[in-house]
Structure 1
């Protein structure tokens, strides 16, 4: 894949490559499924699909991918990271078949000719977390939210330097609210949204802020709401098959699997809203 410029930062990666059983090589350069295609015992073509995905979606995309593997037999390698981290890897020449990123990032790639038509997948918001069982502060208005941050002993939030959408937004918000010095004193910037929620769950921070979808999986942390209007910030994620990938048809099938009606419950349980 050719390098696409414009995004930055680093993130975490996970890899899952389930081993196929009783496969024999056939059609080594299929234009449909990619350069490595096998025929399984049932005579079914199997593709190897590489997916780069925003890490806030790791729980639900991981579960839906497991179901996709079982139903299709395709191998899927999932790689999660911030948009900036994934973009760095693309810029370095790494190749993927499907990208699932913030909608603006996908739009830029589409304009550059790097991906095909985009499909909106789901939306999540920057949320506020407290420890499970703690009395939640009033965060119903911008003024009440500001007072809660000032009163908090410690505040955890996604670190803007990592390149995630929540961290970048919150860094600007603290300045706009006149809280830059306050947050510098008591802030606990974290490398991931899961770490933000963990700091809250362990009682190390009184309040945490990151994408709701990254708070939901962490036991001991509770979402008390999104940022109050008009401070709220939503992130919509979109998916697209890359033009330089080698498994175009399998990639389209994968995207349809993520958006099928039966997947709605999984998305909502993970803290996402659907289009």
Structure 2
């Protein structure tokens, strides 16, 4: 009777351990499934600030501005200004030529083109490096539109135009910076969640291995008891037959 109760107890214990091990394994897999995507999604690139630039064309400027016809001075350029203008980006030089040609046609005097190049270059390098090419391309297109304006169109204040254009890119840079900061905070939270999930997965898997080890020990114990009981029964039967 006692042997049967022990066998029943060991069988129940085996089932309980098997169920617990299964639950732990499923939990470990679930934690890994959560940790993986969380960790991968935490690595995101920077916001493309160039795509955030809005209304950088001449028509948009005219809708919100009124030209006064003022322009840059016509002082003679220094040697340093000339050298800097020669080394500037070709798009900035082309934009400066367009501006100078427009002012010459509208106001009858030629502004200092190298000085315009230096001013535009200062604007370009005041922006994040990711916006440099986008700014130069946009500025060149803007000045081409300026050069193509009909002779009867109102005079555009090129100082206001370039300042307005720069503000569009500065606003985009600030917006991109804010979005990157929000992404960084979110990525940090995702990494923390991923680490916690990975820790839980490792813990659950360790407990699963422990349950498997206990399950094997219980099975060995059960087999040993079964063999021992059979051996005792065989000896008892042999003794009875001998008697």
Determine if the TM-score, normalized by the shorter chain, exceeds 0.5. Answer: no
Structure scoring higher RCO (CA < 8 A, sep ≥ 6) equals: 2
What range is the shorter-chain TM-score in?
under 0.3
Normalised by the length of structure 2, the TM-score is 0.22
Bigger proportion of residues as strand: 1
Q: Which has the larger radius of gyration?
A: 2
